[in-house]
Amino acid sequence: MQDAITTVLNQYDLIGYYLDNKAMETMQSFFDTGLERIQITEIISNQSADIIKETYVQLFDEQPELLRPGGNSYTTRRYSACLRDIEYYLRYASYAIMSGSTQVLDERVLYGLRETYNSLSVPIAPTVRSIQLLEEVIIDKISTSDEATKSIISTPFQYLIKQLSEKDI
Protein backbone atom coordinates (compact mmCIF):
# COMPACT_ATOMS: atom_id res chain seq x y z
CA MET A 1 0.00 0.00 0.00
CA GLN A 2 1.41 3.36 -1.02
CA ASP A 3 0.45 6.94 -0.34
CA ALA A 4 0.40 9.72 -2.94
CA ILE A 5 4.00 10.70 -2.16
CA THR A 6 5.42 7.20 -2.49
CA THR A 7 3.50 6.70 -5.72
CA VAL A 8 5.02 9.85 -7.25
CA LEU A 9 8.51 9.03 -6.04
CA ASN A 10 8.30 5.49 -7.40
CA GLN A 11 7.09 6.73 -10.79
CA TYR A 12 9.99 9.15 -11.12
CA ASP A 13 12.52 6.66 -9.80
CA LEU A 14 11.34 4.09 -12.32
CA ILE A 15 12.09 6.43 -15.24
CA GLY A 16 15.21 7.91 -13.60
CA TYR A 17 13.96 11.52 -13.54
CA TYR A 18 14.25 14.24 -10.97
CA LEU A 19 10.99 15.56 -9.58
CA ASP A 20 9.47 18.19 -11.86
CA ASN A 21 6.81 20.83 -11.22
CA LYS A 22 3.98 18.35 -11.79
CA ALA A 23 5.40 16.01 -9.16
CA MET A 24 5.92 18.88 -6.73
CA GLU A 25 2.33 20.08 -7.25
CA THR A 26 0.99 16.58 -6.58
CA MET A 27 2.97 16.35 -3.36
CA GLN A 28 2.01 19.87 -2.30
CA SER A 29 -1.67 19.03 -2.83
CA PHE A 30 -1.23 15.92 -0.68
CA PHE A 31 0.25 17.99 2.14
CA ASP A 32 -2.28 20.82 1.74
CA THR A 33 -5.21 18.43 2.14
CA GLY A 34 -3.65 16.37 4.92
CA LEU A 35 -5.62 17.78 7.84
CA GLU A 36 -8.86 17.56 5.90
CA ARG A 37 -8.21 13.92 4.94
CA ILE A 38 -7.48 13.13 8.59
CA GLN A 39 -10.73 14.79 9.71
CA ILE A 40 -12.78 12.96 7.08
CA THR A 41 -11.20 9.63 8.00
CA GLU A 42 -11.82 10.30 11.69
CA ILE A 43 -15.52 10.90 11.02
CA ILE A 44 -15.72 7.70 8.98
CA SER A 45 -13.96 5.74 11.71
CA ASN A 46 -16.09 7.14 14.52
CA GLN A 47 -19.38 6.78 12.66
CA SER A 48 -18.69 3.65 10.59
CA ALA A 49 -21.51 1.61 12.14
CA ASP A 50 -24.05 4.37 11.42
CA ILE A 51 -22.71 4.88 7.89
CA ILE A 52 -22.98 1.17 7.13
CA LYS A 53 -26.45 0.95 8.64
CA GLU A 54 -27.75 3.96 6.68
CA THR A 55 -26.26 2.50 3.52
CA TYR A 56 -27.82 -0.94 3.82
CA VAL A 57 -31.18 0.44 4.96
CA GLN A 58 -31.32 2.66 1.87
CA LEU A 59 -30.09 -0.14 -0.40
CA PHE A 60 -32.72 -2.61 0.81
CA ASP A 61 -35.45 0.07 0.76
CA GLU A 62 -34.59 0.75 -2.89
CA GLN A 63 -34.10 -2.91 -3.82
CA PRO A 64 -36.23 -5.06 -1.50
CA GLU A 65 -36.01 -7.95 -3.97
CA LEU A 66 -32.49 -8.56 -2.68
CA LEU A 67 -33.98 -9.78 0.61
CA ARG A 68 -36.70 -11.97 -0.91
CA PRO A 69 -36.29 -15.67 -1.73
CA GLY A 70 -33.95 -15.91 -4.69
CA GLY A 71 -32.47 -12.47 -3.96
CA ASN A 72 -28.75 -12.19 -3.52
CA SER A 73 -29.09 -11.14 0.15
CA TYR A 74 -31.67 -13.78 0.98
CA THR A 75 -30.62 -16.04 3.86
CA THR A 76 -28.66 -14.94 6.87
CA ARG A 77 -25.36 -16.02 5.35
CA ARG A 78 -25.81 -13.94 2.19
CA TYR A 79 -27.18 -10.97 4.14
CA SER A 80 -24.14 -11.07 6.42
CA ALA A 81 -21.81 -11.28 3.43
CA CYS A 82 -23.47 -8.21 1.92
CA LEU A 83 -23.00 -6.22 5.12
CA ARG A 84 -19.41 -7.43 5.37
CA ASP A 85 -18.71 -6.25 1.82
CA ILE A 86 -20.22 -2.82 2.50
CA GLU A 87 -17.93 -2.56 5.53
CA TYR A 88 -14.93 -3.54 3.39
CA TYR A 89 -15.69 -0.86 0.80
CA LEU A 90 -16.00 1.75 3.53
CA ARG A 91 -12.84 0.72 5.37
CA TYR A 92 -10.66 0.55 2.28
CA ALA A 93 -12.11 3.79 0.91
CA SER A 94 -11.11 5.44 4.19
CA TYR A 95 -7.56 4.11 3.68
CA ALA A 96 -7.57 5.60 0.17
CA ILE A 97 -8.79 8.95 1.52
CA MET A 98 -6.07 8.99 4.16
CA SER A 99 -3.30 7.97 1.78
CA GLY A 100 -4.44 10.22 -1.05
CA SER A 101 -4.12 7.25 -3.40
CA THR A 102 -6.50 4.68 -4.86
CA GLN A 103 -3.77 2.04 -5.11
CA VAL A 104 -4.96 0.32 -1.94
CA LEU A 105 -8.32 -0.26 -3.63
CA ASP A 106 -6.65 -2.14 -6.47
CA GLU A 107 -4.47 -4.19 -4.15
CA ARG A 108 -6.94 -5.03 -1.40
CA VAL A 109 -10.39 -4.83 -2.99
CA LEU A 110 -10.57 -4.99 -6.75
CA TYR A 111 -8.07 -7.72 -7.66
CA GLY A 112 -9.66 -10.46 -5.58
CA LEU A 113 -13.20 -9.14 -5.87
CA ARG A 114 -13.60 -9.97 -9.53
CA GLU A 115 -12.83 -13.64 -9.07
CA THR A 116 -14.90 -13.95 -5.91
CA TYR A 117 -17.97 -12.25 -7.37
CA ASN A 118 -17.69 -14.29 -10.57
CA SER A 119 -17.59 -17.55 -8.66
CA LEU A 120 -20.56 -16.56 -6.47
CA SER A 121 -22.64 -14.96 -9.28
CA VAL A 122 -22.95 -11.73 -7.29
CA PRO A 123 -24.84 -9.07 -9.29
CA ILE A 124 -22.81 -5.93 -9.84
CA ALA A 125 -25.62 -3.32 -9.91
CA PRO A 126 -26.51 -3.58 -6.19
CA THR A 127 -22.80 -3.61 -5.35
CA VAL A 128 -22.24 -0.39 -7.28
CA ARG A 129 -25.34 1.14 -5.71
CA SER A 130 -24.11 0.33 -2.20
CA ILE A 131 -20.82 2.10 -2.98
CA GLN A 132 -22.73 5.13 -4.30
CA LEU A 133 -24.81 5.16 -1.13
CA LEU A 134 -21.70 5.01 1.07
CA GLU A 135 -20.37 8.09 -0.70
CA GLU A 136 -23.70 9.93 -0.35
CA VAL A 137 -24.08 9.07 3.34
CA ILE A 138 -20.56 10.27 4.15
CA ILE A 139 -20.98 13.53 2.25
CA ASP A 140 -24.23 14.05 4.12
CA LYS A 141 -22.55 13.33 7.48
CA ILE A 142 -19.69 15.72 6.71
CA SER A 143 -22.36 18.28 5.72
CA THR A 144 -20.20 20.40 3.50
CA SER A 145 -20.84 22.29 0.31
CA ASP A 146 -17.12 22.63 -0.37
CA GLU A 147 -16.39 20.93 -3.68
CA ALA A 148 -12.77 20.15 -2.74
CA THR A 149 -13.92 18.26 0.36
CA LYS A 150 -16.56 16.41 -1.65
CA SER A 151 -13.88 15.48 -4.18
CA ILE A 152 -11.62 14.05 -1.47
CA ILE A 153 -14.54 11.93 -0.25
CA SER A 154 -15.78 10.94 -3.71
CA THR A 155 -12.49 9.94 -5.28
CA PRO A 156 -12.15 6.41 -3.84
CA PHE A 157 -15.86 5.62 -4.20
CA GLN A 158 -15.98 6.84 -7.79
CA TYR A 159 -12.83 4.85 -8.53
CA LEU A 160 -14.43 1.67 -7.17
CA ILE A 161 -17.61 2.34 -9.14
CA LYS A 162 -15.72 2.98 -12.36
CA GLN A 163 -13.53 -0.09 -12.00
CA LEU A 164 -16.43 -2.38 -11.15
CA SER A 165 -18.70 -0.93 -13.84
CA GLU A 166 -16.09 -1.29 -16.59
CA LYS A 167 -15.20 -4.87 -15.76
CA ASP A 168 -17.19 -7.91 -16.71
CA ILE A 169 -17.39 -9.50 -13.31
d(CA 70, CA 73): 8
Which residues, at least 6 apart from 33, have a Cβ–Cβ distance to it below 8 Å?
Answer: 100, 148, 152
91 is in an annotated binding site: no
Short-list 17, 18, 12, 32, CA closest to 100 = 32
d(CA 169, CA 167): 6
77 among annotated binding-site residues? yes
How many DSSP H helices and E strands does the chain contain? 9, 0
Is 46 marked as a binding-site residue?
no
| Binding-site sequence positions for (2R,3E)-phycocyanobilin | 72, 77, 82
| Binding-site sequence positions | 72, 77, 82
